[in-house]
Structure 1
Amino acid sequence: MLTLSEQLESVIDRLKGPARKGLIGRLRRGIEKEGLRVDPRGHIAQTPHPRSLGSKLTHPHITTDYSEALLEYITPVYCRPQDAMAFLGDLHRFSNQRLGDELLWPASMPSRLNGNDSIPIADYGHSNVGTMKHVYRKGLDVRYGRIMQAIAGVHYNVSLPDDLWRLLHELDGQGNISLNDYRSSRYFGLIRHFRRNSWLLMYLFGASPALDDSFLEGKSTPDKLETHGRRTLLSPHATTLRMSDLGYQNKVQAQLKICFNSLSNYVGTLRHAISTPWPAYQTMGVNEDNEWRQLNANILQIENEYYSDIRPKRVARHDETPSQALEARGVEYIEVRCLDLNPFLPLGIDETQMRFLDTFLMWCLLADSPWIPDDECDRLDDNRALVVEHGRDPALKLMFDDGQRPLAERGREIFAELRRVAELLDIIEGDDLHQQALTELEPRLDNPGMTPAGQVEALLRESGQEFVESTLELARRQAAELGETPISRARETLFDELSSTSHQQQREIEEADRESFDAFLETYFARAREQRAAKAM
């Protein structure tokens, strides 16, 4: 039986020839980047979403996530990282010119808050679809509180080229199943290998070891946090408190035990969750005296409520839920959701990180990835929790199939395999930038101080500043840097036109509504429970 490295070497060797002949296209990726608007003192903004940025319901590139103050930028899909970064940069420049004295908060953990109600829930207008988005967010409030929803991050969306899928389909001798089913199966293999190794991303790119004490809203300070200054709480060895039990975690969802072994299992589990009542949520009420508190009292109100560090995705049509789109036409791309904003980067991410992610995801695809049994699923959760809270402790050991191993030791083995994948990607691209990205990032394994989390802690300790104070300085500096590079006239004209058009589109949606919100929801959830037969492609 081939070892992982031997199996990987064999696949890569068979792909290098087609790559040299130009028979393998480029990966396609898009970025979704969140960021809070804050006032000049570093408090979460209480102002409405700026009208000059367009309608957050219909604008294709500028919207909000949970809060009215939580901007979300969405790039188009690009084949070159530099193109995605250029578009993301122009979205920032366009916004900065229209924010007045407000700033974009560059950290994942939020700015200074003044209790749960200081986080305004996003308002999407009075159409049925806009009301549904607002009520869904009200449901998140009653279930988890708004403070957790003020955390920001980067979502990285990647799809592999069609010609690569055809090559792999042929090399694997899988002619007995359709290319579409094969692609979905292999994407789920990618996801499983990702889940086995996502701790490495949290170590390398985690950037949230500290938070303002207002995030705890008066609750007692957990033992893992120590006081720094008057208002800052710091976890000395943490990498990403955003991904800890202080952030996006939920005990009700944990019992779903989704380990991504197959598309049918994934869709079936989500469908079960959106149709199964949960007693605690029933007690909260749904529609009380014509006041909607949540969309329903089920484990998940809708599928988007499921928190995961990675998701299989397909662009859904207007009459489909995300899982119905997957069920009908298979996996189209994957969404990586475990990435903090790097507060030292004006856009929260850079090309080096993107090329590392591309290499990592291609490695996850090409490596063998058997199904994850329940006991391994628990172990993977344990490894991630250890890295999240103790990843920068040089003595940390993680549990693998061959027993406990130091994080850096296993990390170096992974980097060795990643280099072989980077060579393949560089053949496709005609440069050596993927290998350069690995060379730049690998020293972080032996020097936790080089990680973004290590840099955040060093900044706080060396300056003696509070988390809010130091992050606000970064926000001001980055706004000035972005202002020094003007947006192109053509891109600014495009964004102005999209902003104007998006307001008109929202008005048309609102004017076209003919049914009540109650009837709209009833139709939506009846349709969501339907199975969608897979379609030949």
Structure 2
Amino acid sequence: MGIEIEMDRIDSQGNLSQEPYPASIGDEKTKPWMTNDFLEVMSETVTPAADYALEAMHYLYALNTTLRNALAPGELLWPLSMPPRLPKDKSKLVLAKMGPKKEAYLHEWAKRHGYSQGTPCGVHINLSIKPHIVDLVRKQLPDRFPDERSAMNYLYTVVAQGFVRYRWLLTYLFGASPVAEANYLEPNQKLAHPMRSMRQSSYGFGTKFRGDFTNLDRYVARIEEGVKEGILTSDYEFHGPVRFKGNAELKRLHKEGIKYVELRMLDLDPTTAVGVKTVTLRFIRLLASYLIMHPAMPENEVDDVLKQADERNRVVAEEDPRKKTKYQATALAMIKRLAQYANQIQLGPEYTEILDELEDRILNSLMTPSGQLMNYVQDGSLEAYALQRAKRYQEAALESLHPFHGFEDGKIYTTKELKAALDAL
């Protein structure tokens, strides 16, 4: 498991920061662990891969503290997925300075989709399957999987299908973006009520382009078709809820196989400084484990099932977070199924506690993240709440006894080197 967290740099008044990229964490174009995304002020923190949720959180807290200590005086990190108030003239927003090729892509993207839709931030979780699991599958089914690549492609496809199919449940349980701040929406866009997850809604991030998760061949073909038709500016623009990863070049991914999947459907959790909680990561791992133990859907059914799942996710995302979801009964049944599975594989009591808490969220929508955030909405805004949280988290980071300063010497760490340096803290 590896984690990527996007957060906007802001000033103490809640405006997007005018400060340059923090020099003490190195060159944003070359550092793999601290970089930028759509905007120059949208910082992205990337952890090394970890075997356990607690280990991943250790790396995330260390890197988040590093970033906060590198900010200019008065700078903060906005803790919400939906951006702080934007300028009325969004063309004034500075896109990430990531080199000519990436900058040209970002400008073309903004031209096509508008600046607003590139500004929501989120949590991306990268999941890989340990080699001994792949070996076990091959030993059991040698005729079906003649080599490691075919087994891995199958297993990752099963996981991807499952996460797309049940994305709506994650949106319900962890959605945390009920409102948008000033100037995000166009003047003619009026919303009837707050949402469970505006970032995951039709008003949220990105390109509304459906991927094909039937198998790796069709995944690649669908993206290439989107580029050929001009729907996508490049294969990089595919921002589905799940992405197959392994090589940055789509054709090489096709040849070399899937190495991990990237889950892109989680909002930032503003109740923690790092944007995601250990319980959420553990639930993701449990769900991934459950999914991998079930066969893939028949190939002729995948596209229709996942198309319906996308629509269900839109419905859940756009529900009023103070009201029960239309799919409450299905959500409860899924949680009970996961509880049975956790008992079967003899997981510890911490998983029972997690599932009990999530069942409570399903029974009472006011206990969901978006439901709780509604307590802090003032005049349609969460700015006061977000600033209060941002200042608290920044003060705590600046008081850290042993912040990591290893990026200041310009060193580009390998995964092994960074893990060793962070483990030594």
Judge same fold: TM > 0.5, yes or no: yes
Inter-CA distance 391–409: structure 2 relative to 1 (3 Å threshold) = farther
Structure 2 match to 1:81: 53
Indicate which of 223, 244, 255 corresponds to 2:201: 244
Structure 2 match to 1:345: 272
| Shift of residue 224, structure 1, vs aligned partner | 2.8
Inter-CA distance 224–170: structure 2 relative to 1 (3 Å threshold) = farther
Inter-CA distance 250–176: structure 2 relative to 1 (3 Å threshold) = closer
- Using the alignment, how far apart are the partners of 1:41 and 1:95 within structure 2? 20
1:156 is paired with a residue of what secondary structure? strand
- Using the alignment, how far apart are the partners of 1:326 and 1:374 within structure 2? 21
| Shift of residue 192, structure 1, vs aligned partner | 1.4
1:190 is paired with a residue of what secondary structure? helix
Structure 2 match to 1:403: none
CA contact (8 A) 2:324 2:362 kept: no
| Shift of residue 175, structure 1, vs aligned partner | 4.8
Indicate which of 107, 112, 117 corresponds to 2:91: 117
Q: Residue 309 of structure 1 aligns to which amino acid in structure 2?
A: P
- Using the alignment, how far apart are the partners of 1:474 and 1:361 within structure 2? 31
| Shift of residue 467, structure 1, vs aligned partner | 1.7
CA contact (8 A) 1:119 1:150 kept: no
Structure 2 match to 1:330: 257
Indicate which of 77, 85, 89 corresponds to 1:104: 77
2:184 is paired with a residue of what secondary structure? helix
CA contact (8 A) 2:287 2:338 kept: yes
Q: Tell whether 2:221 aligns with 1:268.
A: yes
- Using the alignment, how far apart are the partners of 1:339 and 1:32 within structure 2? 11
Structure 2 match to 1:477: 392
Structure 2 match to 1:310: 242
| Shift of residue 248, structure 1, vs aligned partner | 2.0
Q: Tell whether 2:353 aligns with 1:436.
A: yes
**Unaligned stretches of 5+ residues in structure 2:** 414-425
- Using the alignment, how far apart are the partners of 2:85 and 2:214 within structure 1? 41
Structure 1 match to 2:121: 152
- Using the alignment, how far apart are the partners of 1:156 and 1:117 within structure 2? 31
Structure 2 match to 1:192: 161
2:146 is paired with a residue of what secondary structure? coil
Query: After the TM superposition, which residues 161-176 of structure 1 pair with which residues of structure 2 at under 5 Å, given as runs?
Result: 161-172=130-141, 174-175=143-144
Q: Tell whether 2:413 aligns with 1:496.
A: no
Structure 1 residue ranges (4+ consecutive) displaced by more than 6 angstroms after TM superposition: none
TM-score, with normalisation over the residues of structure 2? Answer: 0.90
Residues 360-389 of structure 1, C-alpha deviations (whole Å, 9 max, x = no match): 111122123313354434322221111011
**Unaligned stretches of 5+ residues in structure 1:** 1-28, 125-129, 226-234, 278-297, 398-406, 504-537
CA contact (8 A) 1:108 1:242 kept: yes
Residues 33-67 of structure 1, C-alpha deviations (whole Å, 9 max, x = no match): 00000011101112221212211111121000011
CA contact (8 A) 1:93 1:487 kept: no
- Using the alignment, how far apart are the partners of 2:393 and 2:304 within structure 1? 45
- Using the alignment, how far apart are the partners of 2:136 and 2:170 within structure 1? 28
Q: Residue 338 of structure 2 aligns to which amino acid in structure 1?
A: L
Inter-CA distance 449–135: structure 2 relative to 1 (3 Å threshold) = same
| Shift of residue 249, structure 1, vs aligned partner | 4.5
CA contact (8 A) 2:179 2:380 kept: no
CA contact (8 A) 1:200 1:411 kept: yes
Inter-CA distance 85–221: structure 2 relative to 1 (3 Å threshold) = same
Q: Tell whether 2:372 aligns with 1:450.
A: no
| Shift of residue 423, structure 1, vs aligned partner | 4.1
Bigger Rg over Cα: 1
Structure 2 match to 1:388: 317
1:58 is paired with a residue of what secondary structure? coil
Inter-CA distance 153–425: structure 2 relative to 1 (3 Å threshold) = farther
Q: Tell whether 2:284 aligns with 1:357.
A: yes
Structure 2 match to 1:520: none
Structure 1 match to 2:422: none
- Using the alignment, how far apart are the partners of 1:60 and 1:192 within structure 2? 28
| Shift of residue 471, structure 1, vs aligned partner | 1.0
CA contact (8 A) 2:37 2:96 kept: yes
| Shift of residue 159, structure 1, vs aligned partner | 0.8
Indicate which of 192, 197, 200 corresponds to 1:224: 192
Residues 141-175 of structure 1, C-alpha deviations (whole Å, 9 max, x = no match): 11112221111000000112111122233334645
| Shift of residue 425, structure 1, vs aligned partner | 6.2
Q: Percent identity?
A: 27
| Shift of residue 436, structure 1, vs aligned partner | 3.1
Structure 2 match to 1:417: 337
Residues 275-318 of structure 1, C-alpha deviations (whole Å, 9 max, x = no match): x25xxxxxxxxxxxxxxxxxxxx32222221121111111x2xx
Q: For the aligned residues, what is the CA RMSD?
A: 2.2
- Using the alignment, how far apart are the partners of 2:178 and 2:323 within structure 1? 16
CA contact (8 A) 1:49 1:68 kept: yes
- Using the alignment, how far apart are the partners of 2:343 and 2:218 within structure 1? 35
- Using the alignment, how far apart are the partners of 1:392 and 1:380 within structure 2? 19
| Shift of residue 414, structure 1, vs aligned partner | 1.1
CA contact (8 A) 2:2 2:49 kept: yes
- Using the alignment, how far apart are the partners of 1:442 and 1:396 within structure 2? 13
TM-score, with normalisation over the residues of structure 1? Answer: 0.72
